[in-house]
A and B are shown apart, each in its own frame.
Chain A
Amino acid sequence: MSFLEYNVKYTPSGWRKILYLNWPLIVLVLAVAGVGFLMLTSVAGGRVDRWAEPQMQRFAMGFVLMVIVAMVPIWFWRNMSALAFAGSLVLLLLVEVVGTVGMGAQRWIDLGFMRLQPSELTKITLVMVLAAYYDWLDVARKSRPLFVLIPLCIIAVPVALTLRQPDLGTALLLLIGGSAVMFVAGVHWAYFAAVVAAGIGAVVAVFTTRGTPWQLLKDYQYRRIDTFLDPSNDPLGAGYHITQSQIALGSGGWTGRGFMEGTQSRLNFLPEKHTDFIFTTLAEEFGFVGAASLLTLYLLILVFCIAIAMASRDRYAALLVMGIAVAFFLYFAINMAMVMGLAPVVGVPLPLVSYGGSAMLVLMVAFGLVQSAHVHRPR
């Protein structure tokens, strides 16, 4: 396959590309990141240097990275997809070997200047490789069992590796994100019905094997599920996070207590207040209005992504952008659902807001890919 396959009539070149970026999307990303800096300052008790400042530095780094990625033609990224995926698998394997234990699970590779989380990287590269696969595949064959099995295998490898770490949240995200690309690519409905059925089967399997030597999850994961199902019977044991974050959320009311006035999140009731539970601080300090506004900002970002995907006449670009949109959606939806007691506590950050380097950089690269698809769309 060569670049000539693309039927590009006109593409901006050089610095002119900057003008063709999707600027409304950039403004939205900046707005969400701004909310993040504000909340990180608040949870640090007004101190900017504790979390907000390093986060800003990483965001600036990520922003530059986004623009660079956006400047590179999308077909270059298409050709790189398989390589990038292979690379992230190697890193995932490396975590098994050299990963140091951080936050109770083996997830980091220490690069010296930052700690890289290969599972974050995999979320994007998996979408890339699947989009490239369907771009290559003859449309007529997309629903044939053999050609459905191939992407399933591609998804299964990183899912298995992240489950081993063990990182249930990321494994789920990979599974759902990967299936979403298959779905958008047009694989037959029946397969997805089968997957849902299998999913229910898996849940049953998870619960029936509990307590036996073959149990599929770790004990703490079972306990998290238990407390998710009924947080009230153990308000201060494992259900502590959920109960506390609900109290924090609930006490926000319509308009919240005001910036830096939150008491629940201030009093160290939540140990991960600056990472996974940062949404509670927002909801407590800015109330329903603030929380709903953030949700709206997120939805607007998705709207722009879907618009870009639908406008693109290139299958790789469209699938990639949709895949990224689904991954982004899963991030904030799972995080919010978890904080509000609608999903079990799994380690998923609030995108662009939670403190953390890997997730931020990977997201910015992903937005760079979206922008590249936009800039280099066939016109």
Chain B
Amino acid sequence: MRRTPKDTEDSHRQIGRRSLFVGGLFVATSAVLSARMRYLQVERAEDFRLLAEENRINIRLLPPARGLIFDRNGVLVAANEQNYRITLVREDAGDIDAVLAQLSQIVALDMVTLERARTEIARRPPFVPVTIADRLSWAELSAVAVNAPALPGITPEVGLSRLYPMGADFSHVVGYVGPVSDYYLEQTGDTDPVLQIPDFQVGRYNIEARMEQLLRGRAGTKRVEVSAGGRVMREIDRDPPDPGADVQLTIDAGLQNYVEARLSGESAGAVVMDCQSGEILALASAPTFDPNLFVRGISSAAWNTLNTDRYRPLANKAIQGLYPPGSTYKMIVALAALEAGVITPEETVNCPGHLDVGDRRFHCWNRGGHGRVNLVESISQSCDVYYYELAQRVGIEAMSAMARRFGCAVRHDLPLSGIAEGLAPGMQWKMQNRGAAWVVGDSLNAAIGQGFVLASPLHLAVMTARLASGLDITPAIIRSIDGISQLPGRARDMGLDPGHLRLVQRGMWQVNNDRRGTAYSSRVDVADYAIAGKTGTSQVRNITAAERASGVISNADLPWERRDHALYVGYAPYDNPRYACSVIVEHGGGGSTMAAPIGRDILLRAQLGEVPPPDLYPASQRRDIERMHRDLPILPTPPVPTGRTVRSQA
């Protein structure tokens, strides 16, 4: 394969020729390139320099309109309002003091605003627009716009700001938005460019926070040609922002308002839900607060007031608060015992007012004792000794398993902040968390919803709804997103013996409607609206033997923090269950005196769709009820907007 010298010589010369030819092409092309370079850089230099100086193209972000939130009937609970403001870009302003002085002659700006603007300007990069003043009137904004040539770097803008037309009613459901803080950016790692828009608001609490990505939408952009002075010459093109999704809640704004009003003055939480579908119709926690305070960043004075209030307005007692459920837990124990077959409905237990187990004495709330009680009576009279007996027969694990089937000690999946899990204890749990073995006394305490057992009003409402309907409903708070239904399909049957369920329901009916029932005074006299329920009173302190000997101190004589929690769960109508509710009044005293009347009023309001008239109440109570309803801070029913697509203009 060796090449002959001639061959190599020949091809070598050819390669040389062709290489030179290629080199010639290199030079020719480079000549064209440099000619073009000369044309652009020398001959047309002036034109381009002018273009570069005078016509800068700015890209501006257009904020998306935040998705609106409606109640189940289309009442607007979170809206957007227009916010006129003026922004300044340091780079374009030149002499900031001169510009601000000029501006103060056109718009009244106080020293605080100016000082805040100056620090903000100094803190931000020179090209970022900084808000100087917002919530201006249209007249002020127009004045600035007219004087724009004298105000380099100043831009009058129309922004959107969140508005909660229902005020405090929805702060524990919808939550609130707030300004984007450095802390927020750090926490979420969110890099959406939209967050750089001055005064952009992001959800900070509850639905606003948990559904942030859906509600926020996508930023648009517009390109504008700007003159040397920073004046916008023309808009070149625009990529409109995509607004956030509209969210419809399952909450009924009217009912929500009534429940918040009914709870006002107390430290309390309540949940109302549809026992067939699981839709939450009201979720209230009192006292509440105005979410509009947070929209622009809350003042420290207002924050301190909210934070130091001993009724804790910022805490959402309906889902975050955990309480011993007290006697409202007894249905769970009864069903566990019935299912295990350790008791029959007819079997009676004698209640002498206490039960001795080992060397400890467990008391019934009724010191005189209930005598012989069967299962239905044990619910209606809330006999503790009956359940001490059941606890020993059925054991803690079966009780807690039944509790979990009824949605207690489960973290329900709702887009709300800080949902508590609750606790249905077991032997293993105690060993791991308390480092001690389970003793029979623990089971006895658990059987009356005391001891380690913890539940929130949400847990109790789900429990009651399942008791009432026998359906395995899941709580839901979002009805639809952009018109697409988010509700789960029809719930499955819980698979409990219908006979057992009917017994417990019968007991609950007697609570409200039997003369000896613990909530007889909170009955409804019209059969169509009859309610069934269960009261509970849960201790927050230990009653010592000495105190028992000298007589238990009544709640009214105790300081507020040491009084018992008052609880009530109930549903209505009894014959055809539709609404379930749970009420907890912190340190409210007794369940039958404090919580049951509230529960009855809420269930009546839910059934009627309006403030219940006095003639549904027992004759003796009508005057008081009428007076109470007159004094309640109930809002007039807000108008339902026509059409679902109402939006503020961006």
Contact = CB atoms under 8 A, between A and B. Distances in A.
B1 interface: yes
A254 B45 contact: yes
Interface stretch (B14-22, B268-276, B370-378): B14-22
Contact of B52 (A183, A247, A298): A247
B22 A292 contact: no
Given A236-B57, A315-B15, A249 B29 contact: no
Interface string A28-43: 0000000000000000
B623 interface: no
A287 B41 contact: yes
Contacts of B45: 250-254
Interface stretch (B32-40, B483-491, B557-565): B32-40
Contact of A253 (B2, B49, B56): B49
Interface in B50-82: 51-53, 56-57
A318 B38 CA distance: 34
Nearest to B59: A268
Contacts of A287: 41
B30 interface: yes
B2 A322 contact: no
B149 to A, nearest CB: 22
Given A236-B223, A251-B49, A299-B30, A186 B15 contact: yes
A251 B49 CA distance: 4
A25 interface: no
B16 A292 contact: no
B59 to A, nearest CB: 9
Contacts of B12: 313, 315, 318
Contacts of B37: 249, 283, 288, 291-292, 295, 336, 340
A292 B36 CA distance: 11
B22 A247 contact: no
Interface in B1-19: 1-3, 7-8, 10-12, 14-16, 18-19
B33 A288 contact: no
A362 to B, nearest CB: 20
A183 B57 CA distance: 47
A177 to B, nearest CB: 11
A253 B42 contact: yes
A318 B41 contact: no
Contacts of B26: 299, 302, 325, 329
A66 B405 CA distance: 73
Contacts of A5: 1-2
B51 A251 contact: yes
Contact of B51 (A140, A247, A325): A247
A19 interface: no
Contacts of B33: 295, 333, 336-337, 340, 342
Interface in A312-354: 313, 315, 318-319, 322, 325-326, 329, 333, 336-337, 340-342
B107 to A, nearest CB: 30
A309 B19 contact: yes
B562 to A, nearest CB: 63
B24 to A, nearest CB: 10
A156 interface: no
Contacts of A250: 40-41, 44-45, 47-49, 51-52
Contacts of A139: 3, 7, 10-11
Given A253-B41, A288-B42, A248 B52 contact: yes
B22 A184 contact: yes
Nearest to B56: A267
A176 B75 CA distance: 68
A145 interface: no
A278 interface: no
Contacts of A291: 37, 41
Identify the interface centre among B32, B48, B223: most chain A CB within 10 Å of its CB: B48
A57 B41 CA distance: 33
A333 B26 CA distance: 9
B11, B14, B223: residue with the most chain A Cβ atoms closer than 10 Å: B11
B552 interface: no
B15 A319 contact: yes
Contacts of A310: 15-16, 19-20
A241 to B, nearest CB: 12
Interface in B317-347: none
Contacts of B30: 295, 298-299, 333
B528 interface: no
Contacts of B52: 247-248, 250-251, 263-264
A247 B44 CA distance: 10
A242 to B, nearest CB: 12
B106 interface: no
A246 interface: yes
A180 B22 contact: yes
A23 interface: no
A336 B38 CA distance: 13
A59 to B, nearest CB: 24
Contacts of B237: 236-237
B4 to A, nearest CB: 9
A186 B49 CA distance: 48
Interface string A288-315: 1001100100110011001001100101
A54 to B, nearest CB: 22
Interface in A247-288: 247-254, 263-264, 267, 269, 283, 287-288
Given A236-B223, A253-B41, A329-B26, A342 B36 contact: yes
B27 to A, nearest CB: 7
A1 interface: yes
Given A185-B15, A302-B23, A254 B7 contact: no
Contact of A309 (B3, B8, B15, B48): B15
Contacts of B40: 246, 249-250, 340
A217 B486 CA distance: 43
A295 B42 contact: no
Nearest to B41: A288
Contacts of B57: 236, 269
Nearest to A283: B41
Most buried by A among B19, B44, B236: B19
Contacts of A337: 33, 36
Interface in B563-603: none
A70 B23 CA distance: 24
Contact of B8 (A140, A248, A313, A326): A313
Contacts of A340: 33, 36-37, 40
A333 B33 CA distance: 8
Interface string A150-181: 00000000000000000000000000000010
B37 to A, nearest CB: 5
B18 A184 contact: yes
Contacts of B23: 302-303, 306
B19 A322 contact: yes
A186 B11 contact: yes
Interface string A223-258: 000000000000011000000001111111110000
Given A183-B22, A252-B45, A299-B26, A318 B2 contact: no
A252 to B, nearest CB: 5
A184 B8 contact: no
Contacts of A288: 37-38, 41-42
A219 B42 CA distance: 36
Contacts of A269: 57
Interface of A: 1, 5, 139-140, 180, 183-186, 236-237, 246-254, 263-264, 267, 269, 283, 287-288, 291-292, 295, 298-299, 302-303, 306, 309-310, 313, 315, 318-319, 322, 325-326, 329, 333, 336-337, 340-342
5 contacts: A186-B15, A236-B223, A250-B47, A310-B16, A310-B19
**Closest A-B pairs by Cβ, 8 of them:** A250-B48, A251-B52, A288-B41, A253-B45, A251-B49, A186-B14, A251-B48, A184-B18
Given A251-B52, A254-B45, 9 more contacts: A180-B22, A186-B14, A253-B42, A288-B37, A302-B26, A309-B15, A309-B19, A333-B30, A342-B33
